[in-house]
Structure 1
Amino acid sequence: MSNPLFRQARQAVNSAKQAAAEGGNTEASVSKAKNALSSAYANSNVDEQRQLRTLQDELNTL
C-alpha cells in the first residue's frame, strides 16, 4: 500500500505488540498505535480500512 498513514499504523501496532511481549511500556505504545490507527482509518480506502480493523482487533487483545 502506498498510504504512509497506513504504514505508520501497522508499524505502531507491531511496536505495541513487541512492547507487550517484552514487558515494556505497553500503555504508551498502545496509545500511540490507537492514534495512528485513527488517522490512517480516516485517510484510507475500503481495503485498507478492512486491514486496519484487523490491526485494531490485534491491538485490543493486548
Structure 2
Amino acid sequence: MGNRLFQEARQAVEVAKYANSKDLDGLVDKAKNAISSAYSNTTTAEQSQLAALQKELDQIHTQ
C-alpha cells in the first residue's frame, strides 16, 4: 500500500504542476504542507524523492 502521506504529497505536487495561474499559489502552499507532513514519516529514499518534489514546486512557483 505504501505511505499515505507520501502519496498525498506526490499527488498534491502533480495537481500544482498543472494548475492555472489563478489557483497556483494556494495549490503550491498545499503541496508544500503535504511534503512537510510526510517528511518525518518516510524512509530515506522517500525523503530524497520529497526533496526533488520540493525543487519542482520551487521551479513552478518562480516561473
TM-score by length of 1: 0.90
- In structure 1, the gaps of 5 or more residues are none
Provide, for residues 39-58 of structure 1, a one-character-per-residue CA deviation record: whole Å limited to 9, x for no partner.
11111110100000000000
SS for the counterpart of 2:2 is: coil
Runs of 4+ aligned residues of structure 1 deviating over 6 Å after TM superposition are: none
Query: Percent identity, aligned pairs only?
Result: 52
TM-score by length of 2: 0.88
- Residue-pair matches, total: 60
2:53 to 45, 52, 55: 55
- For 2:18, the equivalent position in structure 1 comes to 18
- In structure 2, the gaps of 5 or more residues are none
